[in-house]
Amino acid sequence: MSHLNANVIFEEAENLYNDIFPRVNELKVKDRIKIPMMEMPAQEPEIRVLNLDEVAIGYSEQQAIVEANRCIQCPTQECVSDCPVGIDIPVFINHIAHGNFQSAIDTIKETSLLPSICGRVCPQETQCQLHCSVGKVFKSVEKSVAIGRLERFVADWERKSGGVKIPAVKPATGKKVAVVGSGPAGLVVAADVRREGHDVTIFEAFHKLGGVMRYGIPEFRLPNDIVDEEIETLKKMGVEFKTNFVVGKTRSLINLLEKDGYDAAFVGTGAGLPIFMGIEGENLIGVFSANEYLTRANLMRAFEKMKSDTPMYRSKVVAVLGGGNVAMDASRMAKRLGAEKVYVVYRRTEKEMPARVEEVAHAKEEGIEFLFLNNAKRILGDITGHVHSMEVLRYELGEPDASGRRKPVVIEGSEYLLEVDTVIVAIGNGSNPLISQTTKGIAVNKWGNLIVDENQKTSIDRIYAGGDIVLGAATVILAMGEGRKAAKSINELLEIS
Amino acid sequence: MAKILHKEQLSENVVLMRLDAPLIAEERKAGQFIILQVDDDYGERIPLTIADADKEEGSITIIFQIVGQTTDELSRMNVGEDVPVLVGPLGKPTHIENFGRVVCVGGGIGVAPLHPIAQALKQAGNEVITIIGARNKDLVILEEEMKSIADEFIVCTDDGSYGRKALVTKPLKEICEREKKPDMVIAIGPPIMMKFCAETTRPYKVFTQVSLNTIMVDGTGMCGGCRVNVGTEVKFVCVDGPEFDAHLVDFDNMMTRLNSFKEIEHEKHRCYIDKLAEEKIAGGTK
């Protein structure tokens, strides 16, 4: 997939639209299959690496209608069962196909609260688009109906038309719920619990809201304005926010319930504890966790070099270790911060990469170099302790491992030196210990994740949890799914108590 | 947000502030720190140890040295103004018990975080020997406060302008050589001082703790910028510390890492000072 100019994409879509739309109701399955997939228009690569604006521009109305008409409304509806929150996908797509955008967004919002976010960051190719019948016809997930892009389109359409509806809130019940963390799980819980008329306070450790959507995912993939708007909606619903408040430190979780009068609490503190490689040289100057690198750039605004007080390391040649979305974000951010050369070093092949396909494609267009079947062995520094190179080992794929992916095996004696001045480690996150350390009796598994039952309840009554603190590092949509379940349990608990 | 209730210049570059922070004042324990920002959007997050707290007033005391842009900006804020971001108490509290005879060693600004720890150790029934050191007389802080809780009190300066002319390691060594060895030493100050305190007590096998002040962003375990080698493990100062067994800390690596952003920080501070000067000139010609 190479980059196409947005105007070219829009023009082609307009022609298709003029052909298709007048005969929407007459289209047969074979006609629909013939409709070409609508590419996502994006900023030109050489321009976007100089700014922090969103890369993907989003579908035009014509594009959305054309793409929606690719859906054959198959009876299997595997897209719905593959969606962690079970959005009625065929129905909302059918609305778009007929140009009924309001009905489309209303359908999505019956089950999903943050479509403008999910439409941007969900790994659709491993969820709703994975078993799409249209994709199957072409034997390619990449040819599936672009459900995520359509979701994003209608969500943006609603925002731009100024018509984002504030969900109705039932009369006050006098019950109070504490939500710990303002990331995706917490926001969903807050909305669902608030709707039932309970008071909700969200506690956030940082000075800005949104959790990983603020500190982790860069603006070029998820603009802050979108996160802010979702938070604004919650504020209008009457949800209270307390920033700079570290539950477990500023106040213990137990005290929130016992002293401060909260009737229930939800813990959605995320997976904030970076994992390092454990290799030689990892503590040299110029080695960062992706969390640190991205937090400096995103949350602390170090991208705006002249305005931000937070320093950012000046890099010329960067190696990012890992193959997930965070690795893509870090490598592309490094490029935007002025690195001349950025490598992504991943020990498996492109096929096994957990990153979203679109992010990998965008990264390639931006000149990020991928070193597949490579892995860092050690990092070397100069006399002042600054990184000057990295010793890399080559790998080959062996037998499948427990995850079903073919296991990378070291090729002995394949070491070589890669000259770099910065190494960013993006191999995942462990669970943050703050809550488990300071909440007596809360049960955790051997990785430190909170243990919950099928209703998201922890081992302590009235305390629920969800998202990455339970799942380990996962996705925004899974966190939201867990949030929904937890909110339901909390609402049930408060109804009977 | 935290209102500045009181401000006092302790020495040329050292400022004391009392901030309105009732929740932190209630929960904090000796050894813990806060993180603050002087601007909600573009400010840097800096960790500062809590020097004291007053539950009744609902306030905490911080003492800081002007070393860079943020501390410089903070020092220019006045009573009644709000510090936009203040979060805490962070880090693990100091482990306090009756060890027996303890030596509290504070160097320069390090005396500020040492004060509540010495206080707590005294209250726990320890015999407290306190050594405080500074480059010169003007930089000696909290002398009376430290003296009042010490069973034995030693002050020294590098240039001999006040107290003994010695580095803190000299009296520390003498105390280690006494017939009754100390049961615990806690040293807080510049990294180089803590390193040499560790080397001083090592041959005497006296359990020694240090409180580390590394580079941090979030202060909650999320960024790993504060990581240090402690023995064979990598620890995060913000959630595993800030106090560690001094004999296991890799001070050389820690000191190297503290220089990670030195050049850029210098430039930023320089720019800030230039900007202030320009504003002053512009203001003067009005």
pLDDT tens-digit readout, A232-265: 999 999 999 999 999 999 999 999 999 999 999 9
Q: Which residue of A has its CA nearest to B258?
A: A285
Q: Say if the Cβ atoms of B27 and A296 lie within 8 Å.
A: no
The pLDDT assigned to A433 comes to: 85
Q: CATH for B101-211, among 3.40.50.920, 3.40.50.80, 3.30.10.20, 1.10.8.60?
A: 3.40.50.80
Per-window interface: B 84-103 vs A, CB < 8 A:
84-90
Give the model's confidence band at A31: pLDDT under 50 very low, under 70 low, under 90 confident, else very high.
very high
CB-CB neighbors (< 8 A) of A282 in chain B: 234
| Mean pLDDT along residues A85-105 | 95
Q: Say if the Cβ atoms of A250 and B268 lie within 8 Å.
A: no
Q: How many CB atoms lie within 10 A of CB B79?
A: 12
pLDDT in tens, A107-119: 998 888 889 999 9
The fourth-level CATH superfamily of domain A6-160 is Alpha-helical ferredoxin (1.10.1060.10)
The pLDDT assigned to A401 comes to: 82
Query: Could you tell me which residues come within 8 angstroms of residue A186 by beta carbon, excluding any fewer than 6 positions away?
Result: A179, A180, A202, A211, A266, A268, A467, A483
| Mean pLDDT along residues B187-202 | 96
The whole-angstrom distance between B279's CA and the closest CA on chain A is 17
Does the pLDDT of residue A191 top 90, yes or no?
yes
Take residue B139 and report the two structure tokens written for it: 């930089």
Query: Could you tell me which residues come within 8 angstroms of residue A281 by beta carbon, excluding any fewer than 6 positions away?
Result: A287, A378, A379, A380, A381, A387, A390
DSSP secondary structure, B116-159, as one string: HHHHHHHHTT-EEEEEEEESSGGG--SHHHHHHT-SEEEEEESS
CA pair distance A29, A312, nearest whole angstrom: 54
- Domain regions of chain B by residue span: 2-90, 101-211
Q: What are phi and psi of A439, to 5 degrees?
A: -120, 100
Q: What average pLDDT is seen over chain B?
A: 93
Pairing of strands B101-107, B184-188: parallel
Do the domains A6-160 and A176-272+430-496 sit in the same CATH topology, yes or no?
A: no
Instruction: Give bridge partners of residue B188 from the DSSP assignment.
Output: B106
CB-CB neighbors (< 8 A) of A201 in chain B: none
- Domain regions of chain A by residue span: 6-160, 176-272+430-496, 287-425
Per-window interface: A 251-310 vs B, CB < 8 A:
251, 272-274, 276, 278, 282-286, 288-289, 291-292, 295-296, 300-301, 304, 307-310
Instruction: Give bridge partners of residue B2 from the DSSP assignment.
Output: B83
The ipTM, to two decimals, is: 0.91
CA pair distance B276, B245, nearest whole angstrom: 42
Asked: is B2-90 a CATH 2.60.120.10 domain? The reply is no
pLDDT in tens, B4-56: 999 999 888 899 999 999 999 999 999 999 999 999 999 999 999 999 999 99
Does the pLDDT of residue A1 top 70, yes or no?
no
| Mean pLDDT along residues A55-62 | 95
| Mean pLDDT along residues A461-476 | 90
pLDDT in tens, A20-30: 999 999 999 99
| Mean pLDDT along residues A363-371 | 97
Q: Is B258 on the interface with A (CB under 8 A)?
A: no
CB-CB neighbors (< 8 A) of B264 in chain A: 311-314
The pLDDT assigned to B269 comes to: 86
The pLDDT assigned to B286 comes to: 43
| Mean pLDDT along residues A193-201 | 96
DSSP secondary structure, A413-469, as one string: T--EEEE-SEEEE-S-B----HHHHHSTT--B-TTSPBP--TTSB-SSTTEEE-THH
CB A186 within 8 A of CB A490: no
CB A371 within 8 A of CB A273: no
The whole-angstrom distance between B117's CA and the closest CA on chain A is 19
Q: What average pLDDT is seen over chain A?
A: 93
Find which of A275, A294, A310 to mutate to test the B interface (most B CBs within 10 Å of its CB).
A310
Does the pLDDT of residue A231 top 60, yes or no?
yes
| Mean pLDDT along residues B200-211 | 96
Per-window interface: A 346-375 vs B, CB < 8 A:
none
CA pair distance A287, A272, nearest whole angstrom: 18
The pLDDT assigned to A455 comes to: 95
The pLDDT assigned to B284 comes to: 59
Instruction: Give bridge partners of residue A416 from the DSSP assignment.
Output: A392
Say if residue A171 is preceded by a cis peptide, omega within 30 of 0.
Answer: no
Give the residue among A108, A214, A133 at the shortest CA–CA distance from A476.
A214
Which of A284, A310, A432 is facing B220, going by the closest CB pair?
A432
Q: Say if the Cβ atoms of A291 and B222 lie within 8 Å.
A: yes
Q: Is B192 on the interface with A (CB under 8 A)?
A: no
Q: Helix (H, G, I), strand (E, B), or coil: what is residue A307?
A: coil
Take residue A457 and report the two structure tokens written for it: 């309840």
pLDDT in tens, B141-191: 999 999 999 999 999 999 999 999 999 999 999 999 999 999 999 999 999
Give the model's confidence band at B282: pLDDT under 50 very low, under 70 low, under 90 confident, else very high.
confident
The whole-angstrom distance between B77's CA and the closest CA on chain A is 17
Give the class (CATH, top level) of A287-425: alpha beta
DSSP secondary structure, A230-294, as one string: HHHHHHHTT-EEE-S--BTTTB-HHHHHHTS--SEEEE------B-----TTTTSBTEEEHHHHH
Does the pLDDT of residue A349 top 70, yes or no?
yes
Query: Could you tell me which residues come within 8 angstroms of residue A284 by beta carbon, excluding any fewer than 6 positions away?
Result: A379, A381, A385, A386, A387, B256
| Mean pLDDT along residues B72-93 | 95
Give the model's confidence band at A122: pLDDT under 50 very low, under 70 low, under 90 confident, else very high.
confident
pLDDT in tens, B257-273: 998 888 888 888 888 88
CB-CB neighbors (< 8 A) of A249 in chain B: 27, 88-90, 220
Assigned architecture for domain A176-272+430-496: 3-Layer(bba) Sandwich (3.50)
CA pair distance A365, A359, nearest whole angstrom: 10
